[in-house]
Structure 1
């Protein structure tokens, strides 16, 4: 079982390189993370040390068959990076790191999301959900990316909110629509009944 520990060895692909790879794979996918927010704002607001791509759990093996021809895929789980074997269905892994070879820098990350019927479900609180068709927006040139309020929920919902996540939130706030703010606020109140720092801004 190939294990890797070089977690800072990143040379992320560009958004357009990702689009080129994924647009030929017959699955639902989109750009996530800080890049999703920048695509929404139509400008780069900060440096990005990596690039995240969302796929659904039910379509993971299709993604694997296409990517495996040119890339090595590693499951990130419990702080370990181990090779994702051909045909292996990842039932609980949410994060896969991808590189050209076992020593090459990391090029992108796959984030595996869960669905129920036609809905995406939030991994930290399954009662928070949206229709799958609703969670992806597109840039003017057709690059799919995760809706800002859903990306911000992922950033807000972790056990520790990083400084860059808070900055991303502040950068996005002025351009969030009323219904996006309302959804994010309701979702944060549901996940954190005891309160969350971001709610007062919404």
Structure 2
């Protein structure tokens, strides 16, 4: 869903989100383009929104943490339609995309994404065979902000790459350790076997 379809966006900064989530009793990660910037340690481009990834099983804790916010769920996902996320409502798949603003008159500032988990494993909501131990799902910036591991973020970006995704890939590629490159290459092979990124990942990944 385009970030400008249903109202004005003024995305928070990662440090703003970190302040809101400081007391969170569940794992969370900055995602999207900001995750790539936290990985490389510098700004790369302008952002239309700010994504935060949490596990679906923690949604009640998230809803409680953001009880004073104005929260809307994209229902159905990707169709340009929002409805309120009611207190106590448990969101089931495929619902995963929640728009957040501090008050009804404020601009949207955070896009909350729900992802799946089984035990100690993160499971891609798009392709369940793509998995990773939850303790490998994120990194922590020098300032203490958790963010989604670049290889996982690039996997999500690989489905339909745009210019900004190519910018992110170019910026972070050289920072990926061989195991991360190998995981990303294997994951992309599942969703897009002919993806052009594979040519740059395969020399140091499993064949």
Give the match for residue 87 of structure 2.
Answer: 86
Could you give the per-residue CA deviations for residues 12-52 of structure 1, whole angstroms, max 9, x where no partner exists?
11111100001112111010000001001111111112111
* Partners of 1:176 and 1:153 in 2: CA distance: 13
* Partners of 2:55 and 2:24 in 1: CA distance: 13
Cα-Cα RMSD: 1.4
1:1-202 equivalence runs, <5 A: 7-69=6-68, 71-78=69-76, 79=79, 80-92=81-93, 93-157=95-159, 160-193=160-193, 195-202=194-201
Moved over 4 A (4+): none
Q: TM-score, normalised by structure 2?
A: 0.89
* Partners of 2:178 and 2:65 in 1: CA distance: 39
Corresponding residue pairs, total: 194
| Runs of 5+ unmatched residues, structure 2 | 202-207
Specify which structure has the higher proportion of strand.
1
